[in-house]
Amino acid sequence: METLIYYFTGTGNSLWAGRKLAEHLPDASLRPMAPLVRNGTRIRPEAATVGIVCPVYFLGLPSLVVRFAGMLDMSDTGYLFAVVTMGGMGGTAALRQLDGILSRNGKRLDAGIAVRMPGNYLVGYSPPAAAKQEQMIRDTGKALAGFAEAVKVRRMARPGPALVTSFVHALMYPRFIASLPDSDREFTVSDACTSCNTCVQVCPVENITLEAGRPAWHHRCECCLACIHACPVEAIQRGRTTAGRDRYRHPAVTIPDLKAQQAGESPVPAEPRSPL
């Protein structure tokens, strides 16, 4: 195996980014992080080139990715890169955070890039309009193709300084991450729920079960919001802000893809729902 790309995704942006990289890298394969973290054992990649692809949460890494990075044994890895997807800002701060975790295990990032994707943090804002989504995805596809060429030749491009966002990250990120597991107490379910089980199956950390035909959350939430965005009847809300806001899933990522992440299976090949 030439290249192994680990990914974590909520609504498909980071899975799609990993796929785009794999299209340009020889003998590349994708592997979801979440089942490996659940196993709780040391992770030693069986590839000379390793990539990590994940979203940015509040100017930093998802807590699952923090745990994953801390479990890595990179002693056999020759080249390590990362891609972080973001709807707003904080990409460089997240890359620097990842670099710091990995360096404590004896391996630093050799290259990293932050790319902008349609935001999915429905609690704070609505996703961008369809035309803007398409333009963002096209632009990011070009950026990822260029980055893949750099990975092919093992170019060094470590994350640079991010003084302002790193300061804000240090100030606010720990409180945000600490609040995540119990943040699922804000989820509610309307009578529109059909007990279809989709939310249960797309949750990457197995935080949801059906109880009396309705989803119940068990307080190990990652705040990826896959459950809200994937609900086919929009029965799930979080707090008072998500009702009436458009849901989002990357147009080239399917519900079976998201289910495969939880199960630890390879993502299912799929055609885009709309041309981009």
Pull the structure tokens for residue 5. Answer: 């790309």
Q: Whole-prediction pTM value?
A: 0.93
Phi, psi of 125 (to 5 degrees): -165, 165
State the average pLDDT over residues 203-232: 97
Pull the structure tokens for residue 117. Answer: 């994707």
* pLDDT tens digit sequence for 242-264: 999 999 999 999 999 999 999 88
Residue 160 has pLDDT above 90, yes or no: no
* Closest to 111 (Cα-Cα) out of 148, 82, 77, 74: 82
Q: Which DSSP letter does residue 183 get?
A: G
* CATH pick for 180-255 out of 3.30.70.980, 3.40.50.300, 3.30.70.20, 3.40.50.2300: 3.30.70.20
State the average pLDDT over residues 149-177: 82
Pull the structure tokens for residue 55. Answer: 């979203």
DSSP SS3 for 12: coil
How far apart are alpha carbons 232 and 203 in whole angstroms? 14
How far apart are alpha carbons 10 and 260 in whole angstroms? 12
Could you tell me which residues are beta bridge partners of residue 60? 57
Residues 99 and 69: beta-carbon distance below 8 Å: no
State the average pLDDT over residues 191-197: 97
Q: Which helix (H) or strand (E) holds 199?
A: helix 198-202
Percent share of the chain, pLDDT over 90: 79
Q: How many CB atoms lie within 10 A of CB 103?
A: 11
Q: Give the domain ranges of the chain.
A: 3-167, 180-255
pLDDT at 273: 41
Tokens 């939310």 belong to which residue?
Answer: 199
Distances (CA, A) of 248 to 97, 120, 130, 194: 27, 6, 10, 20
Q: How many CB atoms lie within 10 A of CB 113?
A: 23
Q: Which DSSP letter does residue 76 get?
A: T
Q: Fold match between 3-167 and 180-255? A: no
Estimate the share of the chain in helix, then strand, then coil, as percent rounded to the nearest 5: 40, 20, 45
Pull the structure tokens for residue 249. Answer: 């899933």
Residue 153 has pLDDT above 50, yes or no: yes
pLDDT at 196: 97
CATH of segment(s) 3-167 = 3.40.50.360
Residues 81 and 112: beta-carbon distance below 8 Å: yes
pLDDT at 146: 96
How far apart are alpha carbons 173 and 177 in whole angstroms? 6
Distances (CA, A) of 257 to 1, 12, 46, 83: 22, 8, 23, 19
Residues 10 and 250: beta-carbon distance below 8 Å: no
Single-letter code of the amino acid located at 173: Y
